[in-house]
Each structure stands twice: as structure tokens, then as C-alpha cells.
Amino acid sequence: MVPYSTGVYAARSVLLDLGTVEESLDLSVMDENARTNGQVDGVQVAVTAGINAPGMMVNRALLEQAGVEMPDPESWTWDDFAAAAVAVSEATDDGIFGSGSVFTHDSIDLWARQHGQILYTTEGRIGVDVATVQSFFEYSKMLFDTGASPGADALVELTDVGPEQTLMGRGLAAFMLTWSSSLTALSEAADADLEIVKIPGESVEPGAWLQSSQFYTVSAATASPEAAAGFVNFLISDPEAGKLILTDRGVPAVESVRQAILPELSGTAQREVEYISALGEMELKQTWIGPAGSTAVAEITPRHQNTVLFGDATAQEAAQAWHDEAVAAVAG
């Protein structure tokens, strides 16, 4: 089950409270942030099948070609990122950019967390204020105003395209903010040895989180809750099951399983696993299933972000409109 639909089913009370089958399903072995990702109102209704996380893809060969030094990924800031991206764009041929990122709806949650807030509260409300959304829109626009990324038309065209159509996948971008699970596909598309590093700003206040790519759930109407829970337990924590699944559903949320499958993976897939393990050692903010209205909020974001990118609204106007609509969407 995908994360967005899980919140809808949970609201309908059709998913089993997994706290009632703890003897058959041991979630204590799982990364805490991955475990809470399956909670709604503090109730465990889903189990992470695999982890994804926001990360920054890097094409070091393109940086070297541009003569731009890679900032230290353990301490770099968003200002450092912008400066490096602008430098790459200025030092390379037309059509090559420092940033190939399309800052999406998920990026708002990342931005909010780095600013001490969160997109959705545990009560299912909007937890990010207008000022923070405004600064997010302003930063996005600044990237193409300075030439760090392509213009608004190109950015819109690049939204939701496959890896081979992205600037990173075509070897035309030094950086790309995206999901960690994209590393292998982007590397293959670009025919380049890409890396994944921590997102700018993480050393000040972590904003990344462990995102469930998919969930295992159990029907509340099942006649065999313990048996179903035992099967889920096998899927998430047994090394042999891990070797069969590998990273098809994302990186395993149990460290012992991650270590068991490493020898079976390609070099880029190993980097994805190592990146998730490194995040698992950080004190990340918890995440949980978004409220039923979160699907509508995901559609609200690009509409208002595009008004800023195309100059049809100020960042403040768009942020206020986004906030009003988002609050109404989750309240309904």
C-alpha cells in the first residue's frame, strides 16, 4: 500500500491496530523514524516495507569539468549549494546547469523541518507557517533568477519525468535534490558515477526523514490477525526474505537486514543503503502518515509555486494562498 492511500484507509478504520499483535510482530528492531512513519494518531496501522529518503545527487565529474569545488556535504548550507550551482552554470556550456532540481511538494516538508516546523502535525493539521512557505518559494525562484537552474518553463516540463529525461540523467546537471532510491536509475541514465550526499542545511537542523516507499498493512476484518502479523514480521526482519526482496520496495528498515543484503547489490544500490544507514544514525524528526487531505495538498503546492516561478504572484501572496487552501484541505 502506498503512503498517501494508507491515511485514507486509516481514517475509515479498516486497518488493524498492529499494537494488538505485538507477540507476532516485533517492530522494536526497526529504525524508529521508519516505525513511526506507519502511525496515524499514535496508532501503528502500517509497517514500512522499505525506506526512501530525500538526498542530493552529485555529478562530481561535471563539477571538475566546471572547475568548481564540491562543498563539504557534512556541513554545507543552502547558500553554499546556490553558490556552487551558479558557478557550474557560469563555467559550462549553455544547457548545463548547476542545479537540475525541481523543488517539489515534498521539498516543503524538508524545508519546514529545517526551520523547526513540519508539514503535518500528529493531529493531522498543517504545521508549517506562511513565512516558511514564502521563504521556500523565494529560494526556488532565486535559483533560476541567478541561473543556478533552468527557467520556469523548463522546470515545469521536468516535473515528474523519468530519470533518463532529467537534467541529471542526461549529464546536464551537477546537483539534483530527489529521492535516494533514484541514484541507481539516474547513474545508469547518465552513464556516470553519481553520488548521494546529505542535503544542505542538515548540520544546522536536520530536515531529511526516512520515508516509507510502501506499507504492509493488515485488514481489521481479518480472521487470522496473528498469522498475518507473523508474515509481515518475516518480510521485514528475516535476512533471507531481505535477500529475496533486496531493494525492490526500498531500502530495508532493519539494519541487520541491510547488512545482509549489501553483498547482493550493485555499487550504486550499496550507496543507497549506506546513505539510509547514515541517516538512521542521526536524530531525525519523526514522520507519520499524512491526513486524508494530504493528497489534495500535494496538488495545491505546484499550482502556487508555479505562480511565483512565472511571476504571476509574489512569494508572499502565493504562500498565503497555499496555506489557506492547505489548511482547508486537511480540515475537511
What DSSP assignment string belongs to 30-97? S-HHHHHTTEETTEE--EEEEEE-EEEEE-HHHHHHHT-PPP-TTT--HHHHHHHHHHHHHHS-TT-E
Q: Which grid cell sits at 310?
A: 512565472
Give dist(CA 44, CA 47) in Å, integer. 8
Burial call 140-168: b when 16+ CB within 10 Å, e when fewer: bbebbebbbbbebeebeebeeeebeebbb
Q: What is the CATH number of the domain that holds 274?
A: 3.40.190.10
Same structural domain for residues 13 and 125? Answer: no
251 & 144 share domain: no
Query: Does 182 lie in the same domain as 327?
Result: yes
93 and 111 part of one domain = yes
Half-sphere exposure at residue 62, Cβ-oriented, CA atoms within 13 angstroms:
33
Q: Where are the beta strands (DSSP E) in the chain?
A: 39-40, 43-44, 47-52, 54-58, 97-99, 173-179, 195-197, 211-216
d(CA 278, CA 291): 29
Q: Return the closest-CA partner of residue 309 out of 168, 109, 101.
A: 101
Whether the Cβ atoms of residue 270 and residue 277 lie closer than 8 Å to each other:
no
Confidence of residue 97 (pLDDT cuts 50, 70, 90): very high
- Whether 56 shows a pLDDT value over 70: the answer reads yes
Give the C-alpha distances (Å, rounded to integers) separating 12 from 27, 37, 45, 73, 122. 24, 18, 12, 43, 17
Question: Same structural domain for residues 141 and 197?
Answer: yes
Quote the CA–CA distance of 295 and 122 in Å, as a whole number: 17
Q: Is residue 290 part of a domain?
A: no
pLDDT at 5: 56
Q: φ and ψ at 75, to 5 degrees?
A: -140, 0
DSSP tag of 15: B
pLDDT tens-digit readout, 282-303: 888 887 777 888 889 999 999 9
**Confidence band, pLDDT 50/70/90 cuts, at residue 8:** low
Same domain, 233 and 267: yes
**What are 240-278's pLDDT values in tens digits?**
999 999 998 899 999 999 999 999 999 999 999 999 989
Residue given cell 563539477 in the structure block? 63
Position 286 in a domain: no
Average per-residue pLDDT in the chain? Answer: 91
Query: How does pLDDT run across 98-133, given as a tens digit for each residue?
Result: 999 777 888 999 999 999 999 999 888 999 999 999
The total domain count for the chain is 2
Q: Please report the pLDDT score of residue 151 as a whole number.
A: 86
Q: Based on the domain organization, do 152 and 89 belong to the same domain?
A: yes
Mean local confidence (pLDDT), 10-29: 88
**Tens of pLDDT, residues 167-221:** 999 999 999 999 999 999 999 999 999 999 999 999 999 999 988 888 999 999 9
Task: Report the interhelical angle of 183-190 vs 267-280 (nearest 10°).
Answer: 150
Distances (CA, A) of 239 to 119, 124, 224, 270: 34, 35, 24, 16
Averaged pLDDT, 87-108: 90
Full domain range(s) for residue 216: 3-52+210-280
* 3 state SS of 254: coil
pLDDT for position 11: 64
The reply to whether 200 and 214 lie within a common domain is no
Percent share of the chain, pLDDT over 90 = 75
Looking at the fold, whether 161 and 113 belong to one and the same domain comes out as yes
